[in-house]
Structure 1
Amino acid sequence: MAKASALHILVKTEKEALALKAKLEKGADFYQLAKRHSMCPSKKQGGDLGEFKRGQMVKPFDNAVFAKGSEDKPLIGPVKTRFGYHLIKVLYKSG
């Protein structure tokens, strides 16, 4: 079974996500931005979702994390789900 670990930031709008992505690409700290801006309870851990199996997350999120080559990208997103827009940083992936 494929497993992964990722950090994410969840915001309401694509505009917010793109603004945060620009900050991250300029070297901003993912952990701090997640704590300050994410709507997900994981923000208390800097957006850390821990380890999860394929199929445990909503489909668009799951597809983005488990896509071929996603572990080589420093940042994925914005990815739209029913919860909002996610910026995702894959820490590792197996399977």
Structure 2
Amino acid sequence: MLRIKARHIQVSTPELANEVMVKWQQGADFGELARVYSECPTARQGGSLGEFGPGHMAPELEPVFLQGDIGDVYGPVATANGYHLVEVLARTDYA
């Protein structure tokens, strides 16, 4: 069974998502950016989504969770809840 650990930053506009992405690219800490900018309750935990399996998050985010390189940040990805920057922390297959 595949398990994924990830964190995200959810904002309301693509412009803000791009602004936050630039800050990350310039060396800002992803968790701190999540605490400052994310509009999701996960902001308190640095954007942590915990551990979950495929199909448990918005379908628009699924390709990043399943195929994104560990440690890279992807986005903005548009969902019904806003625009997300996503960092995949780990993928483990408990066969």
Q: TM-score, normalised by structure 1?
A: 0.91
The whole-number CA distance in structure 1 between the counterparts of 2:91 and 2:61 is 14
Q: Which has the higher helix share?
A: 1
Report the alpha carbon displacement of residue 74 of structure 1 after superposing the two structures with TM. Answer: 1.4
Sequence identity percentage = 39
Report the alpha carbon displacement of residue 51 of structure 1 after superposing the two structures with TM. Answer: 0.3
In structure 2, runs of 5+ residues without a counterpart are none
The whole-number CA distance in structure 2 between the counterparts of 1:3 and 1:13 is 29
Provide the secondary structure at the position in 2 that maps to 1:59: coil
On the 8 A contact 1:74/1:89 being kept in 2, the answer is yes
Tell me which amino acid in the other structure corresponds to 1:29.
D
The whole-number CA distance in structure 2 between the counterparts of 1:34 and 1:65 is 18
On the 8 A contact 1:71/1:92 being kept in 2, the answer is no
The whole-number CA distance in structure 2 between the counterparts of 1:28 and 1:36 is 11
Residue by residue over 1:9-64, the C-alpha shift from the partner in whole angstroms, topping out at 9 and shown as x without a partner, is: 00001110001000000000111110111011100000011101000001011222
Structure 1 counterpart of 2:87: 89
Structure 1 counterpart of 2:20: 20
Q: TM-score, normalised by structure 2?
A: 0.91
On the 8 A contact 2:70/2:90 being kept in 1, the answer is no
Structure 1 stretches (4+) deviating beyond 3 angstroms? Answer: none
Structure 2 counterpart of 1:53: 53
